[in-house]
């Protein structure tokens, strides 16, 4: 099992540009989560999907952020336009719909917006 | 409004047991205690979870007090690779409400 796959691992972009982060969850997992981690705010849940449907997006900071899950094996997190304060490590995690509901995290994407 | 309280940092000698405490005095009857850890620059990793009974797996043991207001994660023989931030999380574990709210955690440093 390859685990949760995220791409790219590192992204450097200029303010105002569109950024797309990608995630492939573990096969068979029904839930997918996007987190953001910064030194100031720690690890924050942005949005999570269950069976490809967004369940809670209350953690999405503003309209510049959007997430999609077109099928069970792929999700994207898009930032448009990006700002320097979006610089962070973005983690994707997936979880099965049966106990113990543990979340498996990907390696993260380190985003730097200059 | 934090649901859990953990010490900021702890040290442990290699080969000794590491005991990481967590206070969750406002825990509800249907809430579980989960422990995750994050090794530097990696994604968090699930360790163990429990409701009210003590639990043990290949990684650690979880001791929950009878009133469920606190718990202790025990790494029986800490190694240098156990150096990480350890998060104690209280959450409902049913339906779609399985969100994890990470606090600041405890930085455990295992010393040679």
pLDDT digits (tens, 9 = 90+) for A64-101: 999 999 999 999 999 999 999 999 999 999 998 776 78
Which tokens belong to A94? 């997936």
**β-pairing verdict for A109-113 and A19-24:** unpaired
Report the residue of A98, A100, A104 to disrupt the B interface, i.e. the one with the largest count of B CBs within 10 Å: A100
A6 strand-pairing partners? A23
Dihedral in degrees, nearest 10, Cα atoms A61, A66, A70, A75: -60
Q: Is the pLDDT of residue B57 over 90?
A: yes
Query: What gap in Å lies between CA B19 and CA B49, rounded to an integer?
Result: 15
**Pick from A55, A91, A107: CB nearest B96:** A55
Q: Residue B85 belongs to what H/E stretch? A: strand B84-92
Calculate what percentage of chain B has a pLDDT beyond 70: 94
Residue at token pair 């995750």: B36
Yes or no: say if A111 and A77 are a contact pair by the CB < 8 Å rule: no
Calculate what percentage of chain B has a pLDDT beyond 90: 79
Task: Give the C-alpha distances (Å, rounded to integers) separating A71 from A4, A68, A87.
Answer: 15, 9, 27
**Pick from B98, B101, B103: CB nearest A95:** B98
Average pLDDT, chain B: 92
Which pLDDT does position B92 carry in this prediction?
A: 76
SS3 B84: strand
Which tokens belong to B17? 């047991």
Which chain B residues are closer than 8 Å to A43 by Cβ? 38, 44, 102
As a whole number, mean pLDDT of residues B30-47 equals 93
Q: Is the pLDDT of residue B19 over 90?
A: yes
Which tokens belong to A56? 């809670």
Question: Cβ–Cβ of A107/B43 closer than 8 Å?
Answer: yes
As a whole number, mean pLDDT of residues B8-29 equals 95
């Amino acid at each position: 099992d390859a685990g949760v796959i995220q791409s790219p691992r590192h992204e450097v972009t200029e303010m105002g540009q569109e950024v797309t982060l990608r995630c492939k969850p573990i096969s068979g997992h029904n839930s997918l989560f996007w987190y953001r981690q910064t030194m100031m705010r720690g690890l924050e849940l942005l949005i999570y999907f269950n069976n490809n449907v967004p369940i809670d997006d209350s953690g999405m900071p503003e309209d510049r952020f959007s997430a999609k899950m077109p099928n069970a094996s792929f999700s994207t997190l898009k930032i448009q336009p990006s700002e320097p304060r979006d610089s962070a490590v973005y983690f994707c995690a997936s979880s099965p719909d049966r106990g113990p509901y543990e979340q498996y995290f990907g390696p993260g994407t380190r985003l730097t917006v200059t | 409004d934090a649901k859990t309280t953990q010490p900021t940092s702890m040290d442990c000698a290699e080969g000794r047991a590491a005991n990481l405490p967590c206070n969750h005095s406002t825990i509800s009857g249907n809430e579980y205690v989960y422990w995750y850890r994050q090794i530097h620059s990696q994604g968090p990793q699930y360790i163990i979870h429990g409701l009210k009974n003590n639990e043990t797996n290949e990684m650690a043991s979880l001791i929950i007090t009878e009133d469920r207001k606190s718990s202790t994660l025990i790494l029986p023989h800490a190694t240098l690779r156990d150096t990480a931030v350890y998060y104690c999380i209280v959450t409902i574990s049913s339906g779609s409400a399985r969100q994890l709210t990470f606090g600041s955690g405890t930085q455990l440093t295992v010393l040679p």
